[in-house]
Amino acid sequence: MEIKNLAQLKRGIQEKREFIIRAHRQEKFLGQKRIPNVVQSNGFYSVISGQPEHEVSRVNHGKGSWIDFGKAAQWEFQEGTCSMYLPEMEHIPENLIWTIEFCEDKKNIPLKLSCSILCNAYYYGELWLPEAIKSLPEALEYAKDHLDEIPLGEMNYIENSDVLDEENCELVTADLGEIPEDNCKENGLKNTKEEWWRIIEGIKEYESRLAEQGRTEEAEKIARGMDFFYPKDVVIEILKDGEGSVSGIKRGDISLLDDDYYLAERKQPYSFRQITWEDLLGILEEYSENGYLTPIFLKETVVWLSEEYEHNSQTSTFYYPMQLPPWKTLQIIRKLDHWYADTDLDCKEYAEEYQKIVSGILHGLVILNPKKLALEEVLAEWVEDFTEPEKSGYRTAFDEIRKGKVPIIRDCNYLTDER
């Protein structure tokens, strides 16, 4: 398992993949094989593989040794190893915290069946006959005894004639480099280039919306992650003007079949290459490290939150897209009736927020950060009518916003407050 960025490293840790310590600030830890034991959002505890009584396994009340994930800038990934350095320090041996390498997990490597298949085919040929043979039956009998004299012609496969030759089949382990891309899933999202480009377009739309709202500093932060990406038509125009080249594609024959190319270098001439899933994950990880809530991956869909931005107060109310059936909508409104009626505070402000929340629900948008309602105190009751996937996605968004993360929004389904 080759790790190329912090996002991939975290996934390996979350999967509790065994790793070996190749280098460490303390020599006594060199060569240890460890298993992630308790994984948290900001780091993890690890224990010695198969040694629960080892001193490393017993520290922190049996959770194991703790390490922060740190920032992406602290890490260096090369040739299968993952090296972590002291924060904001140069990547030199003196500043190294540790270098780890994931052990090969043969349980997760797909197997292939090397098949031997028998099938039928036919070809046309000609056979010279002895002068004594004058009839077709005689010729056929002669041919049966002289098949090896008929020149082999072009083979024509006979459909549905395949038979598995079971005695000549065997199981083999697949090389990681040859595993089909479609077999991979990241964060539950199907690895399709169409989805990749939707994410890129969505983040670019958010950047434009921030600029239109006068939130220039935020727009510039978002732009830094997306400046490399260009749509296909822009790439083609640049190449037609003779100003650049495409990595891996013939310069004289422009063939860009997918809208998934980006600017690999800022200096002229331009150099374009295809986007990979790792590219996007790396950028999304950087956004997350910088305080943004990136699109939520839920099963095989990408969930984009909605925003109601108030220009006067420069605050945002966020909503989670969710189409609830009528009976669930009624259940939630009944809860809201009870919660908003149970207050001695300013009735007008509470009434306005209540009206806004109900309107959102009726339009398929569930509020995440109300100003008046202490939603965190009734969250368990609030989400009990959601489906499990909806509950998971909603809780993720709610928790991240509570931590102060700013959602990257694509679709503003809610009316923007222009007051």
List, in order, residues 6 or more apart from 73 with CB less than 8 Å away. 88
Burial class (CB in 10 A: 0-12, 13-18, 19+), 1: middle
Based on C-alpha coordinates, what's the Rg of the chain? 31
Q: What is the pLDDT along the chain (419 residues), one digit of tens a residue?
A: 578 888 888 888 988 889 999 999 888 999 999 999 988 878 899 999 889 899 999 998 889 999 999 888 899 998 889 999 999 899 999 999 999 999 876 555 567 788 888 888 888 889 999 999 999 999 999 999 998 899 888 888 887 888 888 888 887 765 544 444 444 444 445 556 777 888 888 888 888 888 888 888 888 888 887 877 877 777 877 777 776 776 654 444 556 666 677 776 656 667 777 777 777 888 888 888 888 998 888 766 788 898 888 878 888 899 999 988 888 899 999 998 888 876 655 578 888 888 989 999 998 999 999 988 889 999 999 998 898 888 888 999 999 999 999 999 876 544 444 33
- Do residues 99 and 136 touch, judged by C-beta distance below 8 A? no
List, in order, residues 6 or more apart from 121 with CB less than 8 Å away. 155, 156, 157, 158, 161
Which residue blocks in 63-174 are alpha helix, DSSP H?
Answer: 136-145
**DSSP assignment, residue 159?**
T
Torsion sign, CA atoms 213, 216, 221, 224: positive
**DSSP assignment, residue 107?**
G
Cα–Cα distance between 216 and 373 in angstroms, integer? 31
**pLDDT attached to residue 144:** 92
> What are 155's two structure tokens?
């083979």
Q: Which residue has the tokens 């569930």?
A: 366
CA dihedral 321, 323, 329, 333 (to 10 degrees): 20
- Do residues 98 and 29 touch, judged by C-beta distance below 8 A? yes
Burial class (CB in 10 A: 0-12, 13-18, 19+), 313: exposed
- Do residues 30 and 8 touch, judged by C-beta distance below 8 A? no
Pairing verdict, β 185-186 and 163-164? unpaired
List, in order, residues 6 or more apart from 209 with CB less than 8 Å away. 409, 412
- Got the DSSP string for 8-51? HHHHHHHTT--EEEEEESSGGGTT-EEEEEEE-SSEEEEEETT-
**pLDDT attached to residue 266:** 59
The pTM of the whole model exceeds 0.85: no
- Ramachandran region, residue 62 (left: φ > 0; alpha: ψ -120 to 50; beta: rest): left
Q: For residue 55, give the nearest of 43, 47, 45, 67 by alpha carbon.
A: 47
**DSSP assignment, residue 251?**
T
How crowded is residue 83: how many other Cβ atoms within 10 Å of its Cβ? 19
- Do residues 218 and 224 touch, judged by C-beta distance below 8 A? no
Cα–Cα distance between 416 and 212 in angstroms, integer? 13
Pairing verdict, β 170-173 and 163-164? unpaired
CA angle 74, 203, 274 (to 5 degrees): 75
**pLDDT attached to residue 179:** 46
Helix axes 193-212 and 216-226, enclosed angle (nearest 10): 160
> What are 386's two structure tokens?
């959601």
Measured in whole angstroms, the distance separating CA 337 from the mean position of its chain's CA atoms is: 40
Cα–Cα distance between 193 and 163 in angstroms, integer? 37
- Do residues 317 and 305 touch, judged by C-beta distance below 8 A? no
Burial class (CB in 10 A: 0-12, 13-18, 19+), 155: exposed
